[in-house]
Structure 1
Amino acid sequence: GGGYVFETVATTRYGDQGNREQGTAYGFFQHEWTPTPKWSVITGGRYDHNTIYGGQFSPKLSARYDIKPTWSVKLSGGVGFKAPDFRQLYFNFFNTAGGGYSVLGTEVANLRLNELATANLIQSWAFDPSLLGKLKAEQSWSVNLGSSFRLNDKLQGDANLFYNSIDNLIESQLVATTTANQNIYSYRNINRAFTTGLELNGSYNLTSRWQVSAGYQLLYAMDKDVLGSIRRGEVFWRDPETLASQRLSTSEYFGLYNRSRHMGNVKVFFRLPERGWEANVRVIYRGKFGVGDVIGNVQGEVIPPSNKPGNNVLDVHDDFVAGYALVNVAVAKTIMNCFRIQGGVDNVFDYTEPVFIPNVPGRLWYVSLSYTFSQSEKSN
């Protein structure tokens, strides 16, 4: 198969210099075959050509082996390509309500930041704006090894080990804080990075009406260049009390900012279909994570630098945003097979962290009503 995607936009959010446009042509193929009853193999490839970022061929290969009818093992590998989107290139968004924040695409960031600096509206810089250059497309390769099982009609699960090597990883970046205590974000590339870890998922049917599921992710996300500098003994950390400097070890390097080492979820579902009732409780956990380049006074609060030893590397000696769990509850009732009333509470215990996690507003109550149109078939 194949296709062509053409994108164009004309809006003040994407700069003020007329229309922006780009196109991507792509073609792909896939072949699935079964050498033996237990083996299945999928080979494929895709070619993308972007009018701005050029093209790349991305081959993929995966294989599955059924050890038993209820137990299988999968191995896959492939290459990826991702061009920056319009938001990352041309966004020119200023939100002045509720504390506020701004997002600037890399193509307009320097112009807007210079205007703000000239007007003396920048309170502090968190990142050198001259380093905000043209974004490059992400290029990656990945390997995954997984297994899925079903012990019986009640218990099933899967596990997956993964490794992704990424060149020019596109990351959001805090650039500055305005005199109105509003953060300004943009984007940048990390030259060489990798992510590796483990994913576990499982579900258990307690009864025909009750089901429990759980998931867990262990993630290591790191900058290869930083790791190389640490191994060469070029990175130090300073004890804030004694001011003594020591070489940083690889075991002390935590990884990329805004990534949690541990994440998990537990969900409980209840269904009573003959009465039209459904309910669920969801607990979502995110472990501690670091926030990069936080300087000065943000949204009315004085924040200590996230990079405590001053080495511009997120390590175990830095300050972290503490891990947290959100609890969400929902109940739904279906009436006459067409009306559905649902109510619930997100973030039951009203967790907030307005400085570092502004997208979690606190406890949220909601009610919704939906109607499903259906047409009955009449037999002659």
Structure 2
Amino acid sequence: MTSNDKYARRLRPAAMGMFLAFGPWMASAQEPAAPAPDTPTIALPDAPAPVPVLAPATPRAVRLQPVVVTGTRTAHSLDESPVEVQLIDAEDIRRSGARDVAELLEREGGVYASRSAGRGSRIELQGLSSEHVLVLVDGRRLIGRINGAIDLSRLPTGDVERIEIVKGPSSALYGADALGGVINIITRRGGRDSGGAVTARIDEDRNLDLHGHAGWALGPVQGSSASGLSRLESYDLDAGTPSNDGGDGDSRFLSTNADWQIDEHASLGLSGSYTLDDGKRIDGGSANRYFDTHKRVEEVRVGAAPRYALDASTGISGDLYYNRYFDQFLQTSRADGSVSLDEETVDEIAVGTVQLEHRRGEHRLIGGLEAQFERLEADRLDHTGERDRQAVYAQDEWVPEWREGRLTVVPGLRYDRDSQFGDQFSPKLALRYALSDAWVLRAGYGRGYRAPDFKQLLLLFENPGVGYRVEGNPDLKPERSTGVNLGATWLAGDRASLSFGAYHNRVRDLIDVIQTEAGPPIVFSYRNVASATLTGLDAQARLRPWQPLELQLGYGWLRSRDDDTGDQLSGRPEHRANAALRYEQNDCALQLRGVWIGSRRFAVDLDTGGTPTPAGKAGSYALFDLRAEWLRWEQLDLAIGMDNLLDEGDPQYLPIAPRAAYLELTWNFR
């Protein structure tokens, strides 16, 4: 088989694509069935899987609050959640003007997101890097990591309803990889009455985005579907070289979900999505060598989530899903057209979960069983990697009556059996205490772990032209963490809110890249070489001095140290700040938002192609966006804006698109 034949192979999910694209529109003329009166609550329509079967307990306050589920795997109003959850809701997403989740989080307070050339986006929570952050879509693991990180730029915001972020070790509920926390990206839900929208955006560099979503109903089945496409033009931050920092790219996505209310006790949720990213760029190498790089990624996600309410206090839910991530990477020399790299990677995961939830007096109990199988096949691995895990977890939410509902105590424990690394125990304890209707204190303790990924275990790759080799290490041990979080929030209705948080994380057996042989060729490998301590503070404020004006301010401080050397950990800024100012009056709005990131130290690392990158120090930078909106002009919303107002960018440390003005038009319909 030739390289071109090999490269041409692709997934062909035509049948699924037709279903995703046309099924909702054929169903939109049907009326949804009315629910039976006085029946047990089965599910929140926009909750992630496994879906909580029981509704959240009625809060003391009368005002309506958004509902979150990620912190405890049960439904709570945002203010009443025992575990602090940072929420980015649909209105925040719309106001941001962000095209993808990475772009959204880059300007968000409380998290640190960055991009690197050829590696997509990376995100850190409480100083712990992307390898230690578990990314979920509707409560389900996302796969396809690049050097341990999920590239969030592959997730368009056109299909996102909200994002819930839980910081600190979360392995007691979610298992491996959740040392630093969990990011749960929840897609749109709804029925025909939820309406829909189509958005088109173009900027001065001819980057184009077009996406839409619509609710639909067919008898007792209702759901939502979304689709979109984007076209990105290349950009170059260093005109002195042929390489570019952002390549040409086309991407498309289709997704749909359906919720079938079978009877007053049972329901079934179904979902499916397909994403295609096809990009080209020019990469530089050593000795002034340059390469044409073509990267194609296809991803399929399907799942089913049955739910059954036995009575008003007991319910059972399940979740079964399968993800397949397919990556083709072709690199040819610009000098003579010879093939430098021609690789395929297939990453697959299948997960099944059953969860029981029961309320009894002062207690709300959940228990669950989980089975997971993961497989990675790649040309540069010594052999195909496979692992399976089985887990059991339990949690109790105790609200003592003698404290009049002000105190919530949440202990939890999870046991994982890993086919490669044996038994893993992950405990946690969370506390919430309401000092008053305005002041709430929270505290949390937890342990987490991360098993080495297949590339760290099995990689075997040599580049003779550059003179290096990278070898995996099958003797690696899991990384482990212990974390403590303390926080306080103050709410003054819609006028003001403040939140303060402090954290301390200790990570043992950190996996790092080290040079094992001086060469030639130079040999790099992975070792459990260090432990690290990360201590920090976060503060966020939202103020509305008068109705048309809203101000948001935030600051974060991080002290990250390698316990062996005392050095600052690579790539982590000590200081960061965020701000947003929005003025809205008479369906018109003007907004300025941005972040400032302090200087960062970088150590030797491996890029996407496995090439060692040099150590160095990156200076501080600021990203600001300006946006003006005209809302509900008939059924249309119009926005104009400018991203990266200060035209920040650096080929090595900040390879983001230069300053660009854009025009955006949204048609809303019901």
TM-score (norm 2): 0.38
In the other structure, the counterpart of 1:362 is 658
Q: How does 1:218-233 map to 2 (within 5 A)?
A: 218-227=557-566
Please point out which of 461, 466, 484 is paired with 1:121: 466
1:145 partner letter? L
8 Å CA contact retained: 1:345, 1:363: yes
The Cα of 1:199 is off from its aligned counterpart by 0.8
In the other structure, the counterpart of 1:51 is 419
What is the alpha-carbon distance in structure 2 between the residues aligned to residue 28 and residue 149 of structure 1? 32
1:290 aligns to 2:601 (yes or no): yes
In the other structure, the counterpart of 1:270 is 583
In the other structure, the counterpart of 1:232 is none
1:5 aligns to 2:301 (yes or no): no
What is the alpha-carbon distance in structure 1 between the residues aligned to residue 583 and residue 388 of structure 2? 46
Q: How does 1:1-380 map to 2 (within 5 A)?
A: 1-10=368-377, 12=379, 15=380, 19-35=384-400, 36-37=403-404, 38-85=406-453, 89-90=454-455, 107-108=458-459, 111-113=460-462, 116=463, 119-122=464-467, 135-151=476-492, 153-170=494-511, 189-227=528-566, 254-272=567-585, 275=587, 277-293=588-604, 306=616, 320-335=617-632, 340-358=637-655, 360-369=656-665, 374=670
> After superposition, what is the alpha-carbon deviation per residue over 1:74-111, rounded to whole angstroms, capped at 9, x for unaligned?
221111122244xxx33xxxxxxxxxxxxxx5522xx3
1:223 partner letter? D
Query: In the comparison of the two structures, how many residue pairs are matched?
Result: 287
The Cα of 1:288 is off from its aligned counterpart by 1.0
Q: Equivalent residue of 1:147, what SS?
A: strand
What is the alpha-carbon distance in structure 1 between the residues aligned to residue 629 and residue 376 of structure 2? 40
What is the alpha-carbon distance in structure 2 between the residues aligned to residue 62 and residue 188 of structure 1? 33
What is the alpha-carbon distance in structure 2 between the residues aligned to residue 175 and residue 349 of structure 1? 42
Q: Give the percent of matched residue pairs that are identical in Structure 1 and Structure 2.
A: 26
What is the alpha-carbon distance in structure 2 between the residues aligned to residue 373 and residue 173 of structure 1? 56
Q: Equivalent residue of 1:143, what SS?
A: strand
What is the alpha-carbon distance in structure 1 between the residues aligned to residue 392 and residue 590 of structure 2? 43
Of structures 1 and 2, the one with the larger relative CO (CA 8 A, separation 6+) is 2
8 Å CA contact retained: 2:513, 2:604: no
1:107 partner letter? L
What is the alpha-carbon distance in structure 2 between the residues aligned to residue 262 and residue 334 of structure 1? 36
1:282 partner letter? R
The Cα of 1:6 is off from its aligned counterpart by 2.3
The Cα of 1:158 is off from its aligned counterpart by 1.0
Aligned CA distance change for structure 1 residues 54 and 283 (closer, same or farther; 3 Å): same
Aligned CA distance change for structure 1 residues 41 and 354 (closer, same or farther; 3 Å): same
Q: Equivalent residue of 1:225, what SS?
A: coil
8 Å CA contact retained: 1:70, 1:149: yes
Consecutive unaligned residues in structure 2, runs of 5 or more? 1-367, 518-522, 606-613
What is the alpha-carbon distance in structure 2 between the residues aligned to residue 160 and residue 44 of structure 1? 22
Aligned CA distance change for structure 1 residues 328 and 139 (closer, same or farther; 3 Å): same
TM-score (norm 1): 0.65
> After superposition, what is the alpha-carbon deviation per residue over 1:299-329, rounded to whole angstroms, capped at 9, x for unaligned?
xxxx8x64xxxxxxxxxxxxx3221111122
1:205 partner letter? R
8 Å CA contact retained: 2:410, 2:429: yes
2:578 partner letter? N
Q: Equivalent residue of 2:423, what SS?
A: strand
The Cα of 1:362 is off from its aligned counterpart by 2.5
What is the alpha-carbon distance in structure 2 between the residues aligned to residue 353 and residue 208 of structure 1? 39
In the other structure, the counterpart of 2:323 is none
Consecutive unaligned residues in structure 1, runs of 5 or more? 91-104, 177-183, 228-253, 295-302, 307-319, 375-380
The Cα of 1:131 is off from its aligned counterpart by 8.8
8 Å CA contact retained: 2:486, 2:501: yes
1:33 partner letter? W
1:147 partner letter? A
> After superposition, what is the alpha-carbon deviation per residue over 1:149-170, rounded to whole angstroms, capped at 9, x for unaligned?
1246412111111101111334
What is the alpha-carbon distance in structure 2 between the residues aligned to residue 202 and residue 361 of structure 1? 29
> After superposition, what is the alpha-carbon deviation per residue over 1:163-182, rounded to whole angstroms, capped at 9, x for unaligned?
01111334578999xxxxxx
The Cα of 1:346 is off from its aligned counterpart by 2.2
What is the alpha-carbon distance in structure 1 between the residues aligned to residue 472 and residue 385 of structure 2? 23
1:262 partner letter? H
What is the alpha-carbon distance in structure 2 between the residues aligned to residue 344 and residue 174 of structure 1? 46
**RMSD across aligned positions (CA):** 3.4
8 Å CA contact retained: 1:106, 1:186: no
The Cα of 1:210 is off from its aligned counterpart by 1.9
What is the alpha-carbon distance in structure 1 between the residues aligned to residue 665 and residue 476 of structure 2? 43
The Cα of 1:365 is off from its aligned counterpart by 4.1
Q: Equivalent residue of 2:622, what SS?
A: strand
8 Å CA contact retained: 2:397, 2:410: yes
8 Å CA contact retained: 2:488, 2:501: yes
2:555 partner letter? Y
Q: Equivalent residue of 2:618, what SS?
A: coil
> After superposition, what is the alpha-carbon deviation per residue over 1:252-276, rounded to whole angstroms, capped at 9, x for unaligned?
xx5212111111111123344x63x
> After superposition, what is the alpha-carbon deviation per residue over 1:100-151, rounded to whole angstroms, capped at 9, x for unaligned?
xxxxx5522xx323xx1xx3323xx7xx957966543221111111111124
The Cα of 1:349 is off from its aligned counterpart by 1.2
What is the alpha-carbon distance in structure 1 between the residues aligned to residue 384 and residue 657 of structure 2? 35
Greater Cα offset, 50-59 or 68-77: 50-59
Q: Equivalent residue of 2:564, what SS?
A: helix
What is the alpha-carbon distance in structure 2 between the residues aligned to residue 333 and residue 162 of structure 1? 41
8 Å CA contact retained: 2:555, 2:578: yes
8 Å CA contact retained: 1:291, 1:356: no
What is the alpha-carbon distance in structure 1 between the residues aligned to residue 425 and residue 634 of structure 2? 48
